[in-house]
Amino acid sequence: MSWILASKSSSRQELKAGDFALSVDVQSVYESSGFLTSKMYPSQQMHLTGSNSSTPTNTQPPSTLSGSGSQPILLDRQDSNLSTGSSDREESTSPDKTQQRTQADRKRKRKSGTQGVQNDEGGGGNVQKISRSTETKKINDYFKQQHQQQQQQQQQQQQQQQQTNSPHRHSGAKSPSPQVLLSHMTGHGGAGDPLAGLMPPPRGVPVATRSTQSDITFRQVDEMESRASMDMEAKNSRIDNLQCTNDELSRQLQSQSKVLEQKQLQINKCIEVVKRLQIEKSNIEKKEARQKCMQNRLRLGQFVTQRVGATFQENWQDGYAFQEITKRQEELQANREEIDRQRKLLMKRKPVEGGSNSRKRGANSNQGQGGGNLPNGLGGDHDHRDLTIQEYYESEEILKLRQTALKKEDTDLQQEMEKLERERNLHIRELKRIHNEDQSRILQSQSSPSNPHDMFNNHPVLNDRYLLLMLLGKGGFSEVHKAFDLKEQRYVACKVHQLNKDWKDDKKANYIKHAIREYNIQKKLNHPRIVRLYDVFEIDANSFCTVLEYCDGHDLDFYLKQHKTIPEREARSVIMQVVSALKYLNEIKPPIIHYDLKPGNILLTDGNILGEVKITDFGLSKVMDEDSYHPDYGMDLTSQGAGTYWYLPPECFIVGKTPPKISSKVDVWSVGVIFYQCLYGKKPFGHNQSQATILEENTILKATDVQFPPKPVVSNEAKQFIRCCLAYRKEDRNDVLTLSSNPYLSPPLPKSGRQSASSQQQAAAAASAAAAAQQQAGYQQPFTTGLLGLANIHSSTSS
């Protein structure tokens, strides 16, 4: 059989045989025949329709097979020996199946023996149906049909070669054909069969899609393939380059990792060396401190346990240094009394003008006193003669010189006693520190009981970072240790908070709440006059640690106890730094009230007042957030009764139905008290009183006015600054921001500025004087005019 193609440029060809027309998609035929690949032309379906039929035959195949991106392919359930290019199905029924068959049809069916072609004629048109016979086929029929299919494939290959040489092979995109299945065709049809001359497609995988034909030429395909191959080569080259780069980076990473490991090992070794050196240094310092403490016990004194009734008490016993000074003071007192006695005796022997009376009075005095030793050797027991005026003045001058020497020696003893008292205070403080260090729970809990003599035993490392060196101080529920940060290589202060195991859960929760609150406040602060908070971590179930900035020095309270007073210039420097820190606390959002500002919370970084100071301890601080603080009224004081009473303002002691209102003016009052104490060596209100006495006697509520002692001499500007801070009514008191701009704390004006200011003052004074003179001249001018008028009248009348 052969296919008759009407036109190569059209995707469909019509084959006419009698009253039937076969519409075939050329592309589908070529693809099913194997002439073209799926890369060049998408698959199309072949459609068989009647020339006079308006609608395709509605048939339901027994089974379907769907492919990706194509319409379902209808297949038969039984194996067929027909071509796979058409649809297999058991039986096709015609809409006119009920009509009577002709005699020719019956003869043709009996004559074929294997298949029958049923022709149905209707008024609307003729539709050809090819059905499969239910009779059994012979085996030779299958081989005969396969031989025919091989011949057909050879013919199709020849046609494909002819079609590829045509210039209109890829003339344009073809529209998809209607989807009507092509029935199986055999070579046993009759002469009237319209499909008798058609060659069935080769047996293979049935393909059915709805995609359109491409308009790409072979040259474009070659260009695309060459471009794709070039892109693939470039891609492979890029992959090779990236792979090489990756290998190189991996090699560098491995080498750098090895270098990093070596450096890390070196750093660890350095840390171990630093750790050992710090421990050795700490042990040496501890040993020296204990040796010095033992020596000072004999020289300065020590605590002695004494039994009082059924209990034992520790009382302080002074050392030999105080005993020596006390003995020298007693000797000075005896010499002073002796000088007074000799002066009285000399006054009785003072010569008087008028010889007889003086001799008689002198003799009576000698007899009454029984004699006396004068400084010049006169007036012994056997010397009863009267003194001359020269001898008297000589003896009097000697007594005055001795008395002056005694006063100087007494002053030296007083200074030495004050120095010993300061040393004794340090000695007592060191004794307590050593005792607390030996009884430290954190050192005992972190030490190893298996090796108590190990040098690392009393120097635990907290959080694998902080090496504890020595105890600085101990409070009620916390210990402050000097530590070394092994990571940052710096000294820090580790404040270890320890909870009592016997506390109830609510008390523990309250303590932890306040500690966390202090941490949350202080961790955000960053100012050179405020102690920094570096870290916080948990040690165990009953303790945690906060890491603070370390200040190598004592606090201002200890310095005042050692030196009593501070000169005004140094005290002003301390107050300027404190006010600078308070200004920072009031400029951040939200502002913060320290509320517990006192000399004990002002640290001296260098140990003296000539260096920098920093404020610390934000345990009682108040956060002035928008919910609790009002600019006009302040905020409620929820912790009334807490704090240090000598440094709190009067509004903190007011008791009523509602809590008192506070603001940053609380810290301003504290600044005034601290400045007063630095200048005069005592507190302005409640000095030498306990907090209980201050609370009972309402000392602060009665502190309406501040009094300044005559000595030491303080400038009027300093006194005025203190009055601004210690104003009784908080409405009259400056806040922190206003206090920071006080002229007393402002830097001095330069020389040119002072000259301009003085010139401005002089100009203002001259202007005021001129205005006053002009006003006085205005008053005098009418009076002068009146006098002149009277004089003129008088002269005219007299003439």
SS3 content of the chain, % helix, strand, coil (to 5): 45, 15, 40
3-state secondary structure (DSSP) of residue 719: helix
Q: How far apart are CA 47 and CA 86, in angstroms?
A: 10
Which of 386, 596, 617, 667 is an active site residue? Answer: 596
CA distance 349 to 560: 51
Decide if 616 contacts 603 (C-beta within 8 A): yes
User: What would the two tokens of residue 129 be?
Assistant: 């149906």
* CA atoms of 364 and 366, how far apart (whole Å): 5
Across-strand partners of 126?
A: 121
Q: Which residues contact 23 (CB under 8 A, 6 or more apart)?
A: 12, 13, 14, 47, 48, 49, 177, 178
**H runs (alpha helix) in 300-354:** 320-348
DSSP β-ladder status, 311-318 and 301-308: antiparallel
Q: Nearest CA to 518 among 594, 630, 586?
A: 594
Binding site, annotated residues = 495
Tokens of 627: 């919910």
Answer positive or negative: Cα dihedral of 342, 347, 353, 356. Answer: negative
Q: Which two tokens stand for residue 561?
A: 């106890």
Q: What is the CA radius of gyration of the chain?
A: 60
Measured between alpha carbons, how far is 89 from 131 in angstroms, rounded to an integer?
8
> 215: how many CB neighbours lie within 10 A of its CB?
11
625 catalytic residue (yes or no): no
For the chain, how many residues are written? 799
Between CA 572 and CA 292, with CA 420 as vertex, the angle to 5 degrees is 105
- In the annotated binding site for ATP, the residues are 495
As a whole number of angstroms, the distance between CA 129 and CA 56 comes to 12
CA 47 to chain centre: 77
Neighbours of 532 (CB within 10 A): 17
CA distances to 374, 441, 511 from 503, rounded to whole Å, are 76, 17, 10
Print the SS3 string covering 125-183: CEEEEECCCCCCCCHHHHHHHHHHHHHHHHHHHHHHHHHHCCCCCCCCCCCCCCCCCCE
Active site residues: 596
